[in-house]
Chains A and B, each alone.
Chain A
Amino acid sequence: MTQRPGSGRSDHHLRNVLVWWVVLSVLAEIGWLVAGPLLMPAAASSDAVFANTTIVVFTALAIPVALFVWVFMAYSLIRFRVKSRPSEAGPHLVASNGQQIAWLGITGALCLFLVIWGLFGMYQASTDPPGRPLIVDVTAQQWTWTFRYPSAGVSSNQLVLPVGRPVEFEVTSLDVVHGFDVHAFSVRLDANPGSVIATNIVTPTRLGSFSVRCVELCGLYHAYMWAPVKVVSDQDFAAWLRDAAQGSRGGAGA
């Protein structure tokens, strides 16, 4: 592979395009770092905060790469465009080994960074926070959710959780595959018939109302398979469990 020595004119094009690339990248990065975090969804657990950070960081990394290609293409299309069928060939210009190795090396290094970041995230999500987690059994069936608190003998159609306490969901299904997902916690696991599988342990960090959604197509009323999530204070949670336990016992007698 050979490359003709670049003429002075070509150097001037190269300088222009690199200047455009740097300027646009800096502007886009500033814009993204200001606007990006505002676009992110509400995060109500540390895992969700980390997921949002990941999205912001990956995008920030991708911006200069994407712009490199876009700016080169746009510059070429504007400056080297001919208006009608070209009457002569362009220069016989092929990649030097150095250019190819640099391209492969840089894209490879970026990929490696993403992998390491991801492995770190996986490690972080799988390390259990201190303290005994609250266990909630999640049972999906067409097309409702049931949440059981085995420690209190309570079942409910809404998911009520105390703030700041680690919780582990044990997820199963009675019929087909459903997808258990609390978007605000960034916790998600398929509900599989015949197996009970535990999610990562997550800790709700914000009081408020969220929702469980089903994210696997599970038949006719898939779109209706939502359940409310309430993150409440410890006292409110204890009070709710007490009430619910009485309700359950009464319900069981009926």
Chain B
Amino acid sequence: MTSGTITADTARSRRSLLFPSVVSGLVLGVAGGLLAAFAVSRFASGDRALDQVVVAGYAGWTLCFFIGVGAFHHPVRWGFGRAEPTHREERELAGEGQGAWRYFRFTTDHKVIGIQYLITVLVLFLVGGLAAALIRLEQSQPGARFLPPSTYNTVVGVHGIIMIAATIIMISGPFGNFIVPIAIGARDMAFPRLNALSYWLLFAAIPVFLSTFALGGFDTGWTGYAPLADQAPAGMDAYAFTIVLFGISVAIAAVNIITTVVTLRAPGMRWSRLPVFVWGIMLSVLLGMIAFPSFMLAEVMVLCDRVAGTSFFVSAFGGSQWLYEQLFWFMGHPEVYVIALPSLAVVVEMVSVFSRKPVFAYRTVVGGMIGIALVGCIVWAHHLYTSGANTPFDGPFMLTTELISVPTGVVFLVAIGTLWRGKIWLTVPMLFGIGALVNFIIGGVTGLYLADVPTDEVFHGGMFVAAHFHFTLVGGMVFGFFGACYYWFPKMFGRRLNETLGRWHFWLFEIGFYGVFLPLFYAGLHGEPRWLAYIPPKFAGANLIASMFFGLLIAGVSVFGYNIVSSWRSGPVAAANEWGGNSLEWTVPSPVPLENFETLPVVTASPYDYGGEASGPEVTGPSGPVTAPATEA
């Protein structure tokens, strides 16, 4: 009954295409920002005037951007008691009949939003990667060579915060939006308009953040420690305001994803049949929802200190730097598990599919991920071992920090158990999944020294720490993201990525990655501090090697970028079930139709039931029950 095609009223569509859209959003947003800044500049005075003008401008930009992009259209209509949107209007809002233009509008279709997130994440990685290139350039030679210290500090901070933001959303954003609703058998997210809002909040934060370059940058690094943040140039306001927008975006996305998974699962999709990937996404955003508000709050306080002259973090007036540090790390450590959970879940998913074997211990690995999310909330104070703040915390937090390796270790038991005696098909996504596991072990082991209070005194604030968390976040998690890209690209774009290029990407990146960070472990062990615009000659050798291997990372990423663009334009058409997976996203055609399923599926088995009694889950499709066999040739 739903298949009767509704021909879009093209004239009407064309009229409403430009308004509302990102174009009208940008126009109104810039105008609103300038207007607000101008209005406040009439009243602002004293040495906080610039901060007041800048923050007013950001507020004006945000409000007017959302008016322009059409975010308020339906809430206002609803608030004034107008008629509920018709089914046709809902489909229009979901982007029906707008072609590529729907990616530039406040479109509610979760698949459009997933692709918007994916492109945005790739762009953020590109900007963050350029900043990394500048860092490696500066540190390739001892002394201050290429960048003045103020620029260098800003570049380090920009690299850090962009990469952290991008890794937080890199899987939950693109694949959490695109894949999760399909994988649980839903037609869309629970709150499609909030979904669009969360994406466009992220979008609106990016120009705010980039404006830091015009305002003198910020010299605090990604951690934004106060009271240094209180005295930083006006570029600091950009950082703080970005975090506030980003935090709201993350919270809205989290509420949406959790509600979707809890309420919109297809009949028969019991919790025990939920794909591990969906568990990973849900637990990750839940953890983010708990952790992120404290960072947002800290940045609101920084803005108050800077704009209104309060003294949350000024010790001379009763404030405390430790307050900032506690609030920051209360987000800062759970956040690495926010990044880790989806990535590990993708890896477990791929290992099962490409070994054609059940997840070795489904309940235990889900329990392990729940354990990571719980214990992840109580490890933050290990970042404050050497801050002088709270000696009584040191022992208990050393315990929790080392304890969290137990639930994390379950993932490895499951990985090796699932691979064992499997029919291992080493595709490109599988290659990245295996790489993630191999690299993550090194990241985990080097974390042991940092969890230990006495040895942390050797490493804290040094290059060893930087190398360690790059091994977890890049070696472990970004490899998982790359795997997810190769795994779901055929589903999202209906085309295959080139396999040879994919293998080149893997090996260039893997070798380059070890070449960059192993020397930095060594330099850190021997006392190189982080954040140096000026490398002492003692560490020149290690840093030069690291900088040279960075070239391989650039090569690997270029191959990846070329692969995406060329395959998207002219790659071979992908099959609906490209890899022989059993979860629901492989039962719908590629590209996926607007409402995903013609008839909602009924789930009767776990997606990992390889080699079991039934050779795959039975899914009731439009033409009666169809089996998605694990073994199709």
A82 part of interface (Cβ distance < 8 Å): yes
B525/A88 in contact, CB under 8 A: no
CB of A122 within 8 Å of the partner chain? yes
Given that A39-B522, A192-B388 are known contacts, is A62 also in contact with B448, CB under 8 Å in the complex?
Answer: yes
Residues of B within 8 A of A77 (CB): 419, 424, 426, 434
A-B contact pairs, 9 of them (CB 8 A): A55-B525, A76-B420, A90-B611, A94-B417, A111-B403, A118-B398, A175-B231, A177-B387, A223-B149
| Segment of B17-25, B50-58, B291-299, B357-365 in the binding face | B357-365
Once the chains are docked, how many angstroms separate the CA of A219 from the CA of B157? 11
Report A-chain residues with C-beta under 8 Å of the C-beta of B315.
192-195
- Note all chain B residues with C-beta closer than 8 A to A72: 416, 419-420
Residue of B nearest to A92 (CB): B611
Contact with B along A71-102 (1 / 0, CB 8 A): 01100110011101111111111110001100
CA of A124 to CA of B395, assembled, Å: 13
The listed residue (A87, A192, A221) touching B149 by CB distance below 8 A is: A221
A59 at the interface (CB under 8 A from B): yes
Per a CB cutoff under 8 Å, which of B223, B322, B413, B525 touches A100?
B413
B386 contacts A122, C-beta separation under 8 Å: no
Contact of B441 among A69, A188, A226 (CB under 8 A): A69
Which residues between 178 and 209 of chain A lie within 8 Å of chain B, taking CB atoms?
179, 181, 183-184, 186-190, 192-195, 197
Q: Given A84, A94, A100, A179, which contacts B461 in the complex, CB threshold below 8 Å?
A: A179
A35 at the binding interface (Cβ < 8 Å) = no
Chain B neighbourhood of A91, CB < 8 A: 357, 421, 611
* Chain A 4-30 residues near chain B, CB threshold 8 A: 10, 13
| A217 and B455 contact, Cβ closer than 8 Å, known pairs A80-B421, A92-B612 | no
A41 within 8 A of partner (CB): yes
Bound-complex Cα distance A35 to B189 (A): 55
Q: Is the CB of B527 within 8 A of A177?
A: no
B409 adjacent to A73 (CB under 8 Å): no
Q: Nearest 8 pairs between A and B by C-beta?
A: A215-B461, A194-B315, A86-B423, A92-B611, A121-B454, A183-B527, A223-B534, A95-B361
Q: How far is the CB of A95 from the nearest CB of chain B, in Å?
A: 4
Distance between A209 CB and nearest chain B CB, rounded to angstroms: 12
Q: A220-B149, A222-B531 are in contact. Are A188 and B460 (CB under 8 A)?
A: yes
Contact across chains for B422 and A80 when beta carbons are under 8 A apart: yes
Q: Which of B320, B399, B609 has the most CB of A within 10 A?
A: B399
Q: Are B530 and A215 in contact (CB under 8 A)?
A: yes
Q: A62-B445, A89-B630, A195-B315 are in contact. Are A217 and B422 (CB under 8 A)?
A: no
B-chain residues with CB within 8 Å of residue A92 when the two chains form the complex: 357-358, 609-612
B39 at the interface (CB under 8 A from A): no
**Residue of A with least CB distance to B144:** A223
Give the residues from 597 to 627 in chain B that come closer than 8 angstroms, CB to CB, to chain A: 609-612, 615
> What's the nearest-Cβ distance from chain A to residue B295, in Å?
17
Q: How far is the CA of A108 from the CA of B534 in the complex (A)?
A: 42
B386: nearest chain-A partner, CB-CB? A188
Cβ contact within 8 Å between A51 and B451:
no
B308 at the interface (CB under 8 A from A): no
Cβ–Cβ contact A10 & B421, under 8 A: yes
Chain A: which residue is nearest B536 at the CB level? Answer: A226
| Residues in chain B near residue A10, CB distance under 8 A | 421
Interface assignment of A168: CB less than 8 Å from any CB of chain B: no
Instruction: Give the distance in Å from the alpha carbon of A92 to the alpha carbon of B608 in the complex.
Output: 10
Q: Which residues of chain A are within 8 angstroms of B152 by Cβ–Cβ distance?
A: 223
Partner of A107, one of B316, B405, B612: B405
Known contacts being A92-B611, A94-B358, is A54 close to B454, with CB within 8 Å?
yes
B228 contacts which of A95, A122, A190, A217 (Cβ < 8 Å)? Answer: A217
Q: Indicate whether B415 reaches chain A with its CB closer than 8 angstroms.
A: yes
How many of chain A's residues have a CB under 8 angstroms from any CB in B? 86
Asked if A135 CB lies within 8 Å of chain B CBs, one says no
B434 touches A73 (CB 8 A): yes
**Do the beta carbons of B461 and A88 come within 8 Å of each other?**
no
> Are B457 and A188 in touch, CB under 8 angstroms?
yes
Alpha-carbon separation in the docked complex, A69 to B398 (Å): 25
Q: List chain B residues, Cβ under 8 A from A13.
A: 420-421
Q: Which of B219, B445, B454, B610 contacts A217 (CB 8 A)?
A: B219
Q: Tell me whether A190 and B529 are in contact in the complex, defined as CB-CB below 8 angstroms, given that A69-B416, A82-B423, A89-B423 are known contacts.
A: no
A67 CB to closest chain B CB, in angstroms?
A: 9
With CB as the reference atom, state the residue of chain B lying closest to A181. Answer: B461
Q: What is the CA–CA distance of A103 and B422 in the complex, to the nearest angstrom?
A: 21
Please name all residues of chain B whose beta carbon is closer than 8 Å to the beta carbon of A41 when the two chains form the complex.
458, 525-527
Question: Taking the complex as formed, is A114 at the interface, i.e. its CB lies under 8 A from any CB of chain B?
Answer: yes
> Do the beta carbons of B357 and A90 come within 8 Å of each other?
yes
B433 → A minimal CB distance (Å): 11
B228 touches A176 (CB 8 A): yes
Which residues of chain A have C-beta atoms less than 8 A from B150's C-beta?
220
Interface: B108 (CB within 8 A): no
We find that the number of chain B residues with CB closer than 8 angstroms to chain A is 94
Partner-A contacts on B (CB < 8 A): 144, 149-150, 152-153, 156, 219-221, 223, 225, 227-228, 231-232, 315-316, 320-322, 355-362, 364, 386-388, 394-395, 398-399, 402-403, 405-406, 409-410, 412-417, 419-426, 434, 437-438, 441-442, 445, 448-449, 451-455, 457-458, 460-462, 522, 525-527, 529-534, 536, 580, 609-612, 615, 630-631, 633
Cβ of A104 and Cβ of B360 under 8 Å apart?
Answer: no
**Which residues from chain A contact B227 at a C-beta distance below 8 Å?**
175-177, 193
Is A254 in contact with chain B by the CB < 8 A criterion? no
Q: Is the CB of B460 within 8 A of A219?
A: no
Whether the Cβ atoms of B225 and A217 lie closer than 8 Å is yes
Contact of A90 with B449 in the complex, beta carbons under 8 Å: no
Q: Flag if A215 contacts B454 (CB, 8 Å).
A: no
Q: Cα distance A187–B385 when bound, in Å?
A: 12
Closest chain B residue, CB of each to CB of A17: B420
Query: A240: CB under 8 A from chain B?
Result: no
1/0 per residue, CB under 8 A from B, across A129-144: the answer is 0000000000000000
Residue of B nearest to A6 (CB): B421
A50: Cβ under 8 A from any B Cβ: yes
Contact with B along A153-170 (1 / 0, CB 8 A): 000000000000000000
Chain B residues with Cβ under 8 A from A183's Cβ? 458, 462, 526-527
Chain A residues with CB under 8 A of B457:
47, 51, 181, 186-188
Complex contacts, A33 vs chain B, CB 8 Å: none
Contact A115 to B415, CB < 8 A, known contacts A54-B449, A82-B424: no
The answer on a CB contact under 8 Å between A73 and B387 is no
Whether A99 contacts B458 in the complex (CB less than 8 A), given A73-B438, A223-B532, comes out as: no
A103 adjacent to B410 (CB under 8 Å): yes
Known interface pairs A189-B386, A218-B228; A59-B445 also in contact (CB < 8 Å): yes
CA–CA, A115 to B405, complex, Å?
12
Given contacts A92-B609, A217-B219, 9 further A-B contacts (CB under 8 A): A51-B458, A85-B633, A88-B356, A89-B611, A94-B417, A186-B454, A186-B458, A193-B321, A218-B228
CB distance from B472 to the nearest CB of A (A): 14
Task: Evaluate contact between B452 and A121: CB separation under 8 angstroms.
Answer: yes
Q: Which residues of B contact A232 (CB under 8 A)?
A: none
Residues of the A chain whose Cβ atoms lie less than 8 Å from the Cβ of B417? 93-95, 99
Q: A100 to chain B: which residues have CB within 8 Å?
A: 361, 364, 413
Q: B448, A114: Cβ atoms under 8 Å?
A: yes
Residues 30 to 81 of chain A near chain B (Cβ within 8 Å)? 39-41, 47-48, 50-51, 54-55, 58-59, 62, 65-66, 69-70, 72-73, 76-77, 80-81
- A218 shortest CB reach to chain B, Å: 6
Take A1-B361, A94-B360 as given contacts and tell me if A190 and B388 are in contact as well, using a CB distance cutoff of 8 Å: yes
Whether B361 lies near A177 (C-beta < 8 A) is no
How many whole Å from B138's CB to the nearest CB in chain A? 10
| Chain A minimum-CB-distance residue to B522 | A39
